[in-house]
Structure 1
Amino acid sequence: MNDILHALFSTEGVIIGTLVPFLFVLTVVVFVHEMGHYLVGRLCGIGVSAFSVGFGPELVGFNDRHGTRWKLCAIPLGGYVKFVGDMNATSSPADSAAIEALSEEERKIAFHTQPIWKRAATVFAGPFFNFLLTVAVFAVLFSLYGRYVLEPTVAAVQPGSPAAEAGIEPGDRFVSVNGEAVESFGDVQRLVSGRSGDKLTFVMKRDGKDVTVTATPKITEETDALGNKIKVAIIGVVTNAEVGEPRQITYSPAGAFVAAVEETGHIIQRTGQFLKRFAVGREDKCQLGGPVKIAGMAEQAAKLGFEWLVQLVALLSVGIGILNLLPIPPLDGGHLMFYVFEAVTRRPLSERVMEMFYRAGFLLVLGFMGFVFWNDLFGC
């Protein structure tokens, strides 16, 4: 019995060691996303019927003075804000008969009777708040801890590597990668790691002169800070403390905010790049995971310390924001696609056509969920 209790409730156990960090990470990301929808919707004068973290049976909840039901539900794999006039939790528009059944007061605050700009702003606010959360996390971390950087100088070149074949030599200093200036060795890693198979142009400073070379990064398996096996692209150069001249950058609050915005932009760019390459079969399917993978990462992050867990929140928040902007109903991007059509044609899609899009979108979303679950359990 003691062994069972230890396995469940110790810091190394399933509940404290894995489930609690997982729920913390996912709940924060979902709550912030839905709060974006809620706050902007309320600012636009839209009524909110329900704010839920999780799906399925309600565990606890209460009604506020505006008539919104705030609740925590049993399945912690998402959440939703249901506005007045929504047919369901995905903000699918009710049919014309249901809209007609609304009272005059309800029509004034119903989501689907609002101007396009209010609906679009409310929908976009969810992913935007996810990006804001990431900026806020990095701003705080940079303010507290600064950033550890190495100079972009080559200490050694791996024999037979793309860098060796390109003629890169120890002592060379990276100036730019594919036209983008670099200031640290981390910048070089960032610009190379997601570009396997792409021919890249490197400008190197050698003996005071600029030398231009080309190299094609190759994929390799490495272990990240959380202990996960990941596949990244490398060209085969390393640095060290002697030539890299490690230093700690400290930031003022304003400087930390600017650096956080830049870092968030880099993450969005890399994620978008990954998704484009994945769509054409140029990325490893095992890089995508679902709840099981997230739970494992949360467990490892919690072992390393709270700041690592918060960083995982920031990274997951960006991913959720980007995925929700994909132009697929019932995701936020799907709604925005409909609003663009409505703005251009000056009329909404017909109920029949919209229902077809929603059904197709649901199948795509369910297929993606099945794919990442399969990866989690059997595929990788």
Structure 2
Amino acid sequence: MNDIWQALFSTEGILLGTLVPFLFVLTVVVFVHEMGHYLVGRACGIGVQAFSIGFGPELVGFNDRRGTRWKLCAIPLGGYVKFAGDMNVTSSPVGDDAGPELSEAERRVAFHTQPVWKRAATVFAGPLFNFLLTIAVFAVMFSIHGRYVAEPMVATVNAGSPAEEAGIMPGDRFVSVNGEKVETFADVQRLVSGRAGDALTFVMLRDGREVSLTATPQPMEQEDALGNKIKVAVIGVVNNQELGQPRLITYTPVEALSAAVTETGHIIERTGQFMKRFAFGREDKCQLGGPVKIAGMSAQAAKLGFDWLVQLVALLSVGIGILNLLPIPPLDGGHLLFYAMEVVLRRPVTERTMEAVYKVGMFVVLGFMGFVFWNDLFGC
């Protein structure tokens, strides 16, 4: 009995060690995403019938003074906001005669009767709030802890590495990578890590003059701080304390916010780069994971401390934001695609067309979910 209790309720157990951190990470990300939809929708004068964290049977809930049902449901893998008049996945009334059944007061606050810009703003707000959450987390982290940086210097070149083949030498200083200027060694790592197999141009400062060299990063398996096996591209150079001169940069609140925006932009850029390369079969499928992998990462982050758990929230939040902007129904990006078509065509897309596209989109989304679940359980 004691062994069972330890397995379930100790900080190393399933409940406190894995399930609680996982639910914390996922609930925060989902809540912020749905709160974006809710707040902007309310600001646009759209009525809200329900705000749900999770799907399936309701566990607990209450009605606010506006009549919105706030609830927590049994399946904690997402959430939703149900707007007034929003009766199906296409965010439109069911059937051509559903509109007239609404009273005039109901029509004024119904989602589908709003101008296209209000509908688009409400839908876009979900991913936007995910990005804002990431920025907020990084801003707080930078304000509290600052950030360690090192000069972009080459201390050692590994034998047989792409850097050695390109002619990079110890003592060189990175000036730019593929036209992007670098200021720290972390900048070099960021610009190289997702470009395995791509020929990159490196401008190096050597003996007071700039030298342009070309190297092709190669993938290398590494273990990150959360224990994940990841593949990153490297060129085979090493920095050290003598040449890198590592130092701690501290930030004022305004500087921390600016640095957080920049860092979030870098993450969005790298994620978009990864997705493009993945679509063309140039990335390892095991880099993608689903709930099981997220649960494992949450458990590892919790062991390292609350700061790590919050950083995982930030990284997952920006990933969820990007994923939801993909132009695939029923994701937010699919809605935005239809609204863009409505602006171009000067009329809404027909209900029949929307439903047909949504069926295809749902198949794609379910297929992707099945793929990451397979990766979690069997594929990797």
- Using structure 1 for the length normalisation, give the TM-score: 0.99
Q: Distance in 1 between matches of 2:92 and 2:157?
A: 56
State the identity as a percent: 78
Contact 2:324 2:332 in 1 (8 A): yes
Q: Which residue in the other structure is 2:181 paired with? A: 181
Letter in 1 for 2:247: R
Query: Where do residues 298-317 of structure 1 align in structure 2 (5 Å cutoff)?
Result: 298-317=298-317
Q: Distance in 2 between matches of 1:369 and 1:227?
A: 23
Q: Which residue in the other structure is 1:332 paired with? A: 332
Quote the offset at 1:98 in angstroms: 2.1
Deviations 1:76-96 (A, max 9, x none): 000000001111367355332
Deviations 1:62-88 (A, max 9, x none): 001111000000100000000011113
Contact 1:329 1:362 in 2 (8 A): yes
Q: Which residue in the other structure is 1:14 paired with? A: 14
Q: Which residue in the other structure is 1:62 paired with? A: 62
Quote the offset at 1:103 in angstroms: 1.7
Letter in 1 for 2:11: T
Quote the offset at 1:99 in angstroms: 2.1
Q: Distance in 1 between matches of 2:262 and 2:56?
A: 38
Contact 1:82 1:89 in 2 (8 A): no
Q: Distance in 1 between matches of 2:303 and 2:257?
A: 27
Q: Which residue in the other structure is 1:252 paired with? A: 252
User: Cα gap change, 1:217/1:93 in structure 2, threshold over 3 Å: closer, same or farther?
Assistant: farther
| 1:209 paired to 2:223 | no
Q: Distance in 1 between matches of 2:217 and 2:44?
A: 49
Task: Please identify runs of 4+ aligned residues in structure 1 that moved more than 4 A.
Answer: none
- Secondary structure in structure 1 of the residue aligned to 2:56: strand
Q: Which residue in the other structure is 1:156 paired with? A: 156
Q: Distance in 1 between matches of 2:334 and 2:93?
A: 13
Query: Where do residues 37-186 of structure 1 align in structure 2 (5 Å cutoff)?
Result: 37-88=37-88, 91=91, 93-186=93-186
Q: Which residue in the other structure is 1:272 paired with? A: 272
Letter in 2 for 1:7: A
Deviations 1:288-346 (A, max 9, x none): 00000000000011111101000000000000000000000110000000000001111
Letter in 2 for 1:5: W
Q: CA RMSD in A?
A: 0.9
Q: Which residue in the other structure is 2:363 paired with? A: 363
Unaligned runs of 5+ in 1: none
Q: Distance in 2 between matches of 1:72 and 1:31?
A: 11
User: Cα gap change, 1:73/1:92 in structure 2, threshold over 3 Å: closer, same or farther?
Assistant: farther
Letter in 1 for 2:365: V
Q: Which residue in the other structure is 1:282 paired with? A: 282
Contact 1:80 1:90 in 2 (8 A): no
Quote the offset at 1:243 in angstroms: 1.1
Quote the offset at 1:97 in angstroms: 2.1
Letter in 2 for 1:337: L
Q: Which residue in the other structure is 1:292 paired with? A: 292
Letter in 2 for 1:353: T
Quote the offset at 1:100 in angstroms: 2.1
Contact 2:127 2:321 in 1 (8 A): yes
Contact 2:90 2:358 in 1 (8 A): no
User: Cα gap change, 1:180/1:337 in structure 2, threshold over 3 Å: closer, same or farther?
Assistant: same
- Using structure 2 for the length normalisation, give the TM-score: 0.99
- Secondary structure in structure 2 of the residue aligned to 1:118: helix
- Secondary structure in structure 1 of the residue aligned to 2:49: strand
Quote the offset at 1:208 in angstroms: 1.0
Quote the offset at 1:104 in angstroms: 1.5
Q: Distance in 2 between matches of 1:351 and 1:100?
A: 16
Quote the offset at 1:175 in angstroms: 0.4
Q: Distance in 2 between matches of 1:172 and 1:377?
A: 45
Contact 1:174 1:205 in 2 (8 A): yes
Contact 2:90 2:354 in 1 (8 A): no
- Secondary structure in structure 1 of the residue aligned to 2:129: helix
- Secondary structure in structure 1 of the residue aligned to 2:117: helix
Q: Which residue in the other structure is 1:261 paired with? A: 261
Query: Where do residues 220-235 of structure 1 align in structure 2 (5 Å cutoff)?
Result: 220-235=220-235
Contact 1:7 1:14 in 2 (8 A): yes
Letter in 2 for 1:187: D
Quote the offset at 1:189 in angstroms: 0.4
- Secondary structure in structure 2 of the residue aligned to 1:97: coil
Letter in 2 for 1:244: G
- Secondary structure in structure 1 of the residue aligned to 2:98: helix
Q: Distance in 2 between matches of 1:95 and 1:306?
A: 49
- Secondary structure in structure 2 of the residue aligned to 1:310: helix
Q: Distance in 1 between matches of 2:95 and 2:153?
A: 63
Letter in 1 for 2:179: G
Q: Distance in 2 between matches of 1:15 and 1:90?
A: 37
Q: Distance in 1 between matches of 2:88 and 2:225?
A: 41
Query: Where do residues 347-362 of structure 1 align in structure 2 (5 Å cutoff)?
Result: 347-362=347-362
Quote the offset at 1:14 in angstroms: 0.5
Q: Distance in 2 between matches of 1:260 and 1:213?
A: 32
